[in-house]
Amino acid sequence: MPLCPTRSLPPAELSTGGPVDGRASLVWNGHTWGVAWSEVVSEQPTVFFALVRPDGLRRGSPTRVSDVGYRGTSPAVAWDGHQWLITFSGGAGRFQEIFLARLNEHATLLARAEHVTARERNDVSPAIALSPDGPTIAWAAEFLSHRWAIRAVRLNRWAMQIGPPVTIVERSEPLGSVTIVPNDRGVAVSWLVRRGEAVVDVMRLDPGGGPHGYFGRATPSTIGSADHAARYALAWDGTQYGFAWDEVRTGSPRVFFHTLTRRLDASGATMTVSHGGGSARAPAIVAIAPGRFVAAWEVERDTDRHVEVGAIDGATGRDAVGVQLRGHDGTAWSPAMGMGQDSVGVATTTARGIALHIVPLGSCALRDAGR
């Protein structure tokens, strides 16, 4: 029986009050949601982490992850079965570096965040995922020669680095918005290339963390605008990838979807996920079953700004009816998603900070009958 988003629990407000920098990252560890985000404290972007119970109530106060005096942006979180791993970009000097922090199951820092990189270049947009062989971190690097690269490093089960970072691809065009997705044989890394307009490329990594074959083009072609912010999302359902992106085709962005094979070839027709007036952008996506996905995206229409969530059948398209998400102030944007137990978690940015929405999944037929 296919599942659909049915409703949303009241959102849990997580941030401590400063202006938010970038979108959040969240993971379900089997009994608790872990959410990481960055906000400005004393004019310094700072990474925080909080736990949220399945009923949507926050457990304790947020934990500050990045050190005082150090910038902390673009966090990504993973759970390795024993501890929370949070990677982020930041530093105290002119260059951006990649850091890794380890927290126990109660969100207590086990040690100061450690450097993953420490070079004369800018390392940004980190992502982290677990594969059967352990965690992998990937990020974008800008060199002083004005060339860009996507780099990755593997960690062992104690979250210690295995060998030096591997360069996946190097380009003259700016690269960013790195995403890493585990599959049954390793991970896939995707990134956005900014030319005159943006495109998204993707490549598989082998169990040793090195490139496997050649990278593929995830987007059908250029997608309009050179904006790097949250343009796409990727998920693995066990046999194929679901890929959602926003594209400017007729004056305003819309959200589209298609599937990619294990070999990263586009399969099936391109489907329009967002409908109605206004602009739709910044998709997030999770796989809930083979061939079945749930996506979230922000919608801006006149003065209204909210997030919509809907189910996607990989073969036939989006479910007709979705769920709208709004913070306590009536706004929501920049969604990030995680798969929980019989629910999905959606972290959004609001005018008041970061909010976590828990969206239970239920029978599509029963849901539609009740509307």
pLDDT tens per residue, range 326-347 = 999 999 999 999 999 999 999 9
Mean pLDDT for 7-18 is 88
How many CB atoms lie under 10 A from the CB of residue 68? 9
pLDDT of 162 higher than 60: yes
Nearest alpha carbon to residue 223 among 192, 257, 248, 196? 248
Structural contact between residues 58 and 370, judged by C-beta atoms closer than 8 angstroms: no
**Mean pLDDT of the chain, nearest integer:** 90
Distance CA 90, CA 58 (A): 27
Q: Which residue has the tokens 């990189």?
A: 117
Binning the chain into helix, strand and coil, the percentages to the nearest 5 are 0, 60, 40
Mean pLDDT for 188-206 is 89
**Residue 133 DSSP one-character state:** T
Backbone angles phi, psi at 56, to 5 degrees: 90, 5
Nearest alpha carbon to residue 89 among 77, 103, 75, 101? 75
367 Cβ neighbours under 8 A, 6+ residues apart = 4, 6, 321
Task: Give the type of residue at 129.
Answer: A
pLDDT tens per residue, range 23-47 = 899 999 999 999 999 999 988 999 9
For residue 167, the number of C-alpha atoms closer than 13 Å in the C-beta half-sphere is 10
pLDDT of 247 higher than 70: yes
